[in-house]
């Protein structure tokens, strides 16, 4: 489509996502199947029929297995112009993440149109190349999107939830500023000016886990990335693992090596890597559903 962007997503495994919106666009998201697994958006439960209005800052979403999600976005100027034409005013520019609950008839119409476009894109993409069809679908979807946002009831976060939003945003900013080294909780709390207990509560709400677990998964991901980029003639798995703060090699298992591709298998299998069997990368056997997150 020209101005309107759409996505239809199915995720088979549990995950925690960090979400940002392209500057200059207004984006919404919603569950596209009634039997989809639940979604938590910045700690708020999203129900079937709800619409998430995303801001420009970083947000976190977590879901279980078999998750079905759809998105739509428009340039802000285009959305404002459409709103002015349809409802006679611009949509409010809210400073906080919001969940909108439109009436069921409007939401069902939005879901039906979104599904039609998804089916056409998958099965008959040539139809979407016809300008009259494309224009009609884009106009109708934009019209329904504006009405849902204008007429729906807003679910506003509490003051405590907004504070947790700010804390987790600082937490993410610090992680982004230090992408290639292991970080520890005491250092992070001092840098962002938050007590450990407060950070833990905020992370549990937004991420579904405490900061220590989140940092461990982050370090596992950094290990995987470093191993994939390593020169097999120079690097050793033992050195890469210890450089990222892991000293118990038994915490790592072969599924990680298998998932990391041929380059990692070459590194692990090269005699020059000087590895004992206990140095093969592996994940903890418990909390199975976090493995996919660690590999992303």
- The answer to whether position 218 is within a domain reads no
Query: What total of structural domains would you count in the chain?
Result: 3
Same domain membership, residue 43 and residue 126? yes
Mind listing the pLDDT tens digit for each residue in 170-217?
Answer: 998 898 888 777 788 999 999 999 999 999 999 998 888 899 888 888
- The answer to whether position 217 is within a domain reads no
Same domain membership, residue 233 and residue 150? no
User: Highest mean pLDDT: which of 153-167, 230-244, 267-281, 282-296?
Assistant: 153-167
Give Cβ neighbours of residue 198 (< 8 Å, ≥ 6 apart): 167
- 8 Å CB contact between 36 and 67: yes
pLDDT beyond 70 at 62? yes
SS3 62: strand
* pLDDT bracket for residue 231 (50, 70, 90): confident
Q: Which two tokens stand for residue 54?
A: 């995303």
Mind listing the pLDDT tens digit for each residue in 21-35?
Answer: 788 899 999 999 988
Task: Write down which residue in 208, 234, 267 finishes a domain.
Answer: 208
Same domain membership, residue 147 and residue 16? yes
Same domain membership, residue 142 and residue 63? yes
- The answer to whether position 73 is within a domain reads yes
Angle of helix 196-207 versus helix 185-192 axis, rounded to 10: 100
- For the chain, give the percent of residues with pLDDT over 70: 79
Residues in the chain: 296
Same domain membership, residue 64 and residue 39? yes
Q: What average pLDDT does the segment 214-233 reach?
A: 81
Same domain membership, residue 87 and residue 35? yes
- The answer to whether position 213 is within a domain reads no
- The answer to whether position 214 is within a domain reads no
Lowest mean pLDDT among 101-115, 138-152, 154-168, 261-275: 261-275
Same domain membership, residue 149 and residue 281? no
Same domain membership, residue 149 and residue 237? no
For residue 274, the model assigns a pLDDT of 37
Give Cβ neighbours of residue 134 (< 8 Å, ≥ 6 apart): 1, 2, 128
Mind listing the pLDDT tens digit for each residue in 66-89?
Answer: 999 999 999 999 999 999 999 999
Same domain membership, residue 264 and residue 248? yes
Q: Which helix (H) or strand (E) holds 91?
A: none
Q: What letter would DSSP give residue 179? A: T
Same domain membership, residue 102 and residue 62? yes
pTM of the complete model? 0.69
For residue 240, the model assigns a pLDDT of 79
What residues make up the domain containing 183? 158-208
Same domain membership, residue 167 and residue 127? no
Same domain membership, residue 195 and residue 118? no
- The answer to whether position 22 is within a domain reads yes
Q: What average pLDDT does the segment 13-20 reach?
A: 81
Task: Write down which residue in 125, 140, 157 finishes a domain.
Answer: 157
Please state, in angstroms and rounded to a whole number, the distance separating the CA atoms of residues 177 and 215: 14
Q: Considering the chain, what is the average pLDDT of its residues?
A: 80
Please state, in angstroms and rounded to a whole number, the distance separating the CA atoms of residues 248 and 226: 18
Domain of 86, CATH number, reads 2.60.120
- The answer to whether position 25 is within a domain reads yes
pLDDT beyond 50 at 275? no
Please state, in angstroms and rounded to a whole number, the distance separating the CA atoms of residues 294 and 252: 12
Task: Write down which residue in 143, 174, 208 finishes a domain.
Answer: 208
Q: What average pLDDT does the segment 156-173 reach?
A: 86
């Amino acid at each position: 489509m020209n101005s309107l962007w759409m996505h239809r997503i199915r995720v088979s495994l549990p995950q925690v996502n960090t979400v940002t919106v392209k500057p200059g666009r207004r984006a919404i998201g919603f569950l596209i199947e009634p039997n989809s697994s639940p979604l938590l958006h910045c700690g708020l439960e999203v129900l079937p029929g709800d619409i998430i209005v995303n801001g420009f800052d970083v947000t976190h979403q977590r879901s279980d297995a078999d998750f079905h999600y759809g998105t739509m976005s428009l340039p802000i100027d285009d959305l404002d112009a459409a709103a002015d034409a349809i409802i006679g005013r611009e949509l409010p520019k809210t400073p906080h993440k919001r969940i909108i609950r439109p009436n069921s008839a409007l939401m069902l119409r939005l879901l039906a149109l979104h599904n039609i476009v998804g089916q056409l894109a998958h099965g008959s993409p040539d139809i979407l190349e016809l300008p009259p069809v494309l224009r009609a679908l884009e106009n109708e979807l934009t019209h329904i999107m504006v009405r849902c946002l204008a007429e729906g009831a807003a679910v506003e976060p509490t003051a405590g939830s907004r504070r947790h939003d700010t804390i987790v945003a600082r937490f993410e900013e610090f992680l982004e500023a230090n992408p290639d080294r292991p970080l520890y909780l005491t250092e992070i709390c001092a840098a962002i000016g938050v007590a450990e207990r407060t950070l833990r509560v905020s992370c549990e709400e937004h991420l579904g886990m405490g900061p220590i677990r989140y940092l461990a998964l982050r370090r596992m991901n950094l290990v995987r990335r470093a191993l994939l980029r390593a020169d097999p003639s120079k690097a050793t798995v033992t050195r890469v693992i210890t450089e990222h703060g892991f000293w118990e090699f038994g915490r790592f298992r072969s599924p990680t090596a298998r998932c990391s591709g041929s380059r990692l298998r070459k590194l692990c299998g090269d005699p020059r890597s000087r590895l004992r069997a206990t140095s093969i990368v592996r994940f903890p056997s418990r909390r199975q559903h976090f493995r996919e997150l660690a590999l992303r």
